[in-house]
Structure 1
C-alpha cells in the first residue's frame, strides 16, 4: 500500500464527512480537538504531508486515536486510524505493541499496523480505519444470532493471538470493534499486552520478565530514518515491519537504567523509611497469623512483603486470578474477559460489573459464581480467600432471562434484589462504559448485593412491547449451549477454564 504526499489545499470539505452508525460525522470539530490536531501536526510535521486529520475518534489512558484521510497513488482516498501514544510511554512498550500488530495482526479479526511515524518522543501508529458501533449503543437491539457471531469471531481473534504467546490483558467491547452492517470485527489495542513463557513476540519477554539478559530498545536517531546516513534528516513514515528491524539493531541499554514495571509504564516506586519510623520486624518462617477470618489484620500480616503481580486491565473485566494477585497469569485471563462480555450480551446489561476496587470486584464475582466455589478455585491457584457471607451460585440462564425481563419473578435470584425493578433495560439501555479512567464508587446498604449497583433503573413504555421486540430477535430461543459456553468461559479456575481454541469447537458454533 503506497501513500502519496497530500496537499491539504486540494481536499474538499466534503471529505470531512464520514458515515457512522447510519448518521453523519459532523465536519466541524470542537475547538479542543482542533487544538489537539494542530499540536500533533506540529509534533510530527511529516504527518500533515501524508494525512489530513479530520477528527478525534477515541481516547484512552495511554493514547488518543484520530481519523485521518490519505490519498493513495492510484488516486483513491482512504481512511486510517492514527493512534498517538503519550510521550511518557516506555520505548520497549511501544515497540512491543508494534510487534504484536505486525506479527499477529492483519488476519483472523485482529487489527494490523500499516505505518509508523516518530519524531523524538512522539509516536503515531497508523492502522486501517473500520467503522464500528459501540456495544453500549446497540446492546438493547442486538439479536441472539448477532451475539453468537460476535463471540465466535472474538474467540477466533483470541485463538490467533494466543498462538503467538500474546496475552492481550484488556479484552472488552471497546477493544473488539464491531461493524454491524458489514459483519466485520477487529481486535485492537495491544498497549497492555504481555507474553507467555513461550511467546513468539520477542519484545514481550522484556515486559513479562521472561528474559534475563537486557534487550536493546530503539534509540532516537534510528527511528527518524531507515538508514543511518539519513539520521539527521526530517522524520519519515516507515513501515511497521521496518520499525521492528530498527528496534533489533539499536544500541543496548544499560540494565541498571531500566527502571520500569512489568507493564512498562514508568519507574518503580522506591519505598523509603523515615527516621521516626520503627523498622518492621521480619516474619519468622512458618509463623502463622491469628487474624484469619476475623475483622482485623495482625502485625504478622502487615509485615509480610507485598506480592507483586500483573494487574493491567479494565475494572469489571479482570479475572479472579488477577484480582487475587496470582503471579502465574496466562491467556486464560483473556478468556474470562470474553466470558464477561458474553454475560453482558446475554443479560442485556453493559457494563455488567462495576466496582471501586479489586475486593469489591471479587465480591461481585462471588455473587454470580458463588462464594464457596470462588474460595475453592482460589485455593487451586495458591490463594486463600475468606468471605463473611455464604453467597449461592446463580443459574446463568435464570439470571440472564430475569435481567432481560423474560422471567417475571426474581425469586430464584435472591442475591440480586433489584433485578426485577429494571427488567426493561434490555430494550432501552444507556450506561457509560467502564474504562480504566472511570471507576465509580459503590456503597452498599445492609444485605444489599454489591452487583445491584450495576443495574440502572429506566422506565419502559410497556412490558408487552418489550417482550414482542425481544422475541423477534430470538431471545425466546436461546439454546442451552449458550449458557453452557458462558459457564465454561467464567470458570473460576484458570487451569480448567476453556481455551479460545476449545471454545471454537463448542456445540454453540457447530454450524460455523
Structure 2
C-alpha cells in the first residue's frame, strides 16, 4: 500500500562508504538521538543501504524527522529529510498523506516526496531537505518585504492544495519552511489533512469512516474525544440513560443543573414546564434537555493558537477557510513581531483571546451565522490592527493609541514571562529573543527599523490581515482571492 515507484534511481546504495566524511562533520549528536537513529535503522534496515542518517531535526506528535545524506551515482552527495511515522498511525491516514504529497507536492511551494520505505508497520517518507531557520529565531530580523513575500508564497501553496481539494488543518510557521538565503519555501506535514467534498485525493474520502474526532495535540487535553473502548459499565449505562431520556416526549420536571452560579442572591431557575424546549438558553445553567442531547462532534485537529473560531466552537462544517485563518494568525505574528501570538490551554481561553482582538460582539455575531450561541460576560471592543501591531512592535504607546488593556493583557498571558529589558521578548520555553522594538542586531551591526521597512507598512497589509482574520468562514477571503489583493500587485 505504501510502496512507491520512485524516480530516485540516481541514488547509489553505497551509503556506507561515507565514513571518511562522518569524521569531518562536527555535528554534535546527543546519545539519545544516536539511540533513536539506531532503533530507526533496526526498524527499517533498508535505510542503511542508501542513507547515512546524521541527526534528528524535528519531532511532532505523530512522527520524527531525521536528516539523511545519500551518495548519488554521479558522485554528488545530497541531503534528504526522512519522516518516520509512528507505528500507531492508521494505515489509511499514512497512505492519504503520501497521496497528498504525490498529487499536490513538488510545485507551488508544496513539498513533494522522493522515496518511501516500509517494513511491516514502519513507514519512512523521504523528501527533499530545505535548510531553514525557525520563525522564532528570525522574527526580529525580518524586513517587511520579507514578511510580504513569505505570506504571498504561503497563500500560493494554500491556493494550490485547496484547488486539489485538500484542507491542511495544521498551518503554522513550523510547517511552512523558509530559507532566507535561497528564498525557498515549502509547505510540509499533511498528517492531519482532510478532503473537501470534491477532493482529488481519493484516500482522503476514506478517512470519513474513521473516528471523526482527531487525536489530541500533544500536551493538550482533548475536551471532545471519542469514548474509549474500555469504558466502564457505569459510564455506558449512564450514556444509555441520557439517550433514552432524549427519546422520550417529555422529560420529567426537574430543576436545571447549575454549572456556574454567579452569586448567592441570583434568582433560582424555574422548573421545566410541559412543552418547554429548553430553559437554559443564554444562561449560566444547563437544563435536563440539553444534558440529554448527544455531544456534538467536530474535528479539532490543529495546533493551539492557530485554530479558527469555527473549530473552537465545534462547528461541524469546516472547510478550507480554516487554513486561511491560520495564515492570518501567522501574518498577525509577523506584523506585530510577537510569536506565538495566541497561546491558550483550552478552546474557551483561545476563543476569549480572539475576542480581545476581534471584539466580542463581532465574534458572537459570526458564531450565530453557523448555528452557535456564545455568551460573553464582558463586552470587548474590536481592536484596530495597525495600532495593535505597531504598539506591540514598540512603535506606539498603548496609552496614546487606545489599545485595549484586555488585548495587551490577553497577549501577555500567552507568554511565559516578561523580562525586565523591554527589548527582550519571551517565547516558548521561557527563553528570550530580541524583539524588533527600536533596533536589532544583524550580522554584528545595528539595523534601524526604518531600514527594514517597518516605518512605512502600507494600509494594504492591515486590510489583508483583516480579511484573513474574518470571524465568519463564509465571508473570509480565500487564498486565491488573497493573491489578487493590492498588497501583492507587483507580484
Give the equivalent residue in structure 2 for 1:413. Answer: 403
| 1:336 equivalent in alignment to 2:337 | no
Scaled by the length of structure 2, the TM-score of the pair is 0.82
Give the equivalent residue in structure 1 for 2:342. Answer: 353
CA deviations 1:140-161 (Å, max 9, x no partner) are: 1110000000000000000000
Preserved contact between residue 136 and residue 429 of structure 1 (Cα < 8 Å): no
Give the equivalent residue in structure 2 for 1:496. Answer: 475
Preserved contact between residue 100 and residue 201 of structure 1 (Cα < 8 Å): yes
| 1:269 equivalent in alignment to 2:228 | yes
Q: Distance in 1 between matches of 2:50 and 2:154?
A: 33
Shifted more, 28-37 versus 463-472: the winner is: 463-472
Q: 1:155 to 1:284 in 2, by over 3 A?
A: farther
CA deviations 1:226-257 (Å, max 9, x no partner) are: xxxxxxxxxxxxxxxxxxxxxxxxxxxxxxxx
Shift, 1:471, TM fit: 1.8
Q: Which structure 2 residues correspond to residues 7-18 of structure 1 after superposition, within 5 A?
A: 7-13=15-21, 17=25
| 1:294 equivalent in alignment to 2:283 | yes
| 1:128 equivalent in alignment to 2:118 | no
Shift, 1:263, TM fit: 4.3
| 1:375 equivalent in alignment to 2:337 | no
Q: 1:391 to 1:164 in 2, by over 3 A?
A: same
Q: Distance in 1 between matches of 2:227 and 2:31?
A: 37
| 1:310 equivalent in alignment to 2:299 | yes
Q: Distance in 1 between matches of 2:363 and 2:374?
A: 8
Q: 1:510 to 1:459 in 2, by over 3 A?
A: closer
Q: Distance in 2 between matches of 1:416 and 1:358?
A: 17
Give the equivalent residue in structure 2 for 1:197. Answer: 197
Preserved contact between residue 213 and residue 297 of structure 2 (Cα < 8 Å): no
SS at match of 1:416: helix
Listed as ranges, the gaps of 5+ residues in structure 2 are 1-7, 217-224, 250-274, 441-445
| 1:362 equivalent in alignment to 2:351 | yes
Q: Distance in 2 between matches of 1:15 and 1:288?
A: 75
Q: Which structure 2 residues correspond to residues 58-97 of structure 1 after superposition, within 5 A?
A: 58-97=58-97
Q: 1:181 to 1:497 in 2, by over 3 A?
A: same
Q: Distance in 2 between matches of 1:11 and 1:267?
A: 49
Q: Distance in 1 between matches of 2:100 and 2:438?
A: 49
Q: Distance in 2 between matches of 1:462 and 1:154?
A: 23
SS at match of 2:295: coil
Q: 1:417 to 1:498 in 2, by over 3 A?
A: closer
Give the equivalent residue in structure 2 for 1:282. Answer: 246
Shift, 1:301, TM fit: 1.9
Preserved contact between residue 114 and residue 127 of structure 1 (Cα < 8 Å): yes
Shift, 1:457, TM fit: 11
Q: Distance in 1 between matches of 2:29 and 2:402?
A: 50
Q: Distance in 1 between matches of 2:314 and 2:159?
A: 25
441, 456, 460: which one aligns with 1:481: 460
Shift, 1:344, TM fit: 0.3
Preserved contact between residue 373 and residue 492 of structure 1 (Cα < 8 Å): yes
CA deviations 1:182-209 (Å, max 9, x no partner) are: 1110000000000000000000001135
Preserved contact between residue 16 and residue 54 of structure 1 (Cα < 8 Å): no
Q: Which structure 2 residues correspond to residues 82-231 of structure 1 after superposition, within 5 A?
A: 82-209=82-209
Q: 1:10 to 1:341 in 2, by over 3 A?
A: closer
Shift, 1:412, TM fit: 1.0
Preserved contact between residue 140 and residue 436 of structure 2 (Cα < 8 Å): no
SS at match of 2:296: coil
Q: Distance in 2 between matches of 1:426 and 1:148?
A: 26
SS at match of 1:57: strand
Listed as ranges, the gaps of 5+ residues in structure 1 are 18-25, 210-258, 434-455
Preserved contact between residue 260 and residue 268 of structure 1 (Cα < 8 Å): no
| 1:36 equivalent in alignment to 2:36 | yes
CA deviations 1:389-439 (Å, max 9, x no partner) are: 101100000100000011123351122355799799996444128xxxxxx
Q: Which structure 2 residues correspond to residues 445-456 of structure 1 after superposition, within 5 A?
A: none
387, 401, 404: which one aligns with 1:398: 387
Q: How many residues end up aligned between the 2 structures? A: 433
SS at match of 1:189: coil
Preserved contact between residue 283 and residue 304 of structure 1 (Cα < 8 Å): no
CA deviations 1:25-74 (Å, max 9, x no partner) are: x4230000000000010111111010000000000000000000001111
Q: 1:121 to 1:152 in 2, by over 3 A?
A: same
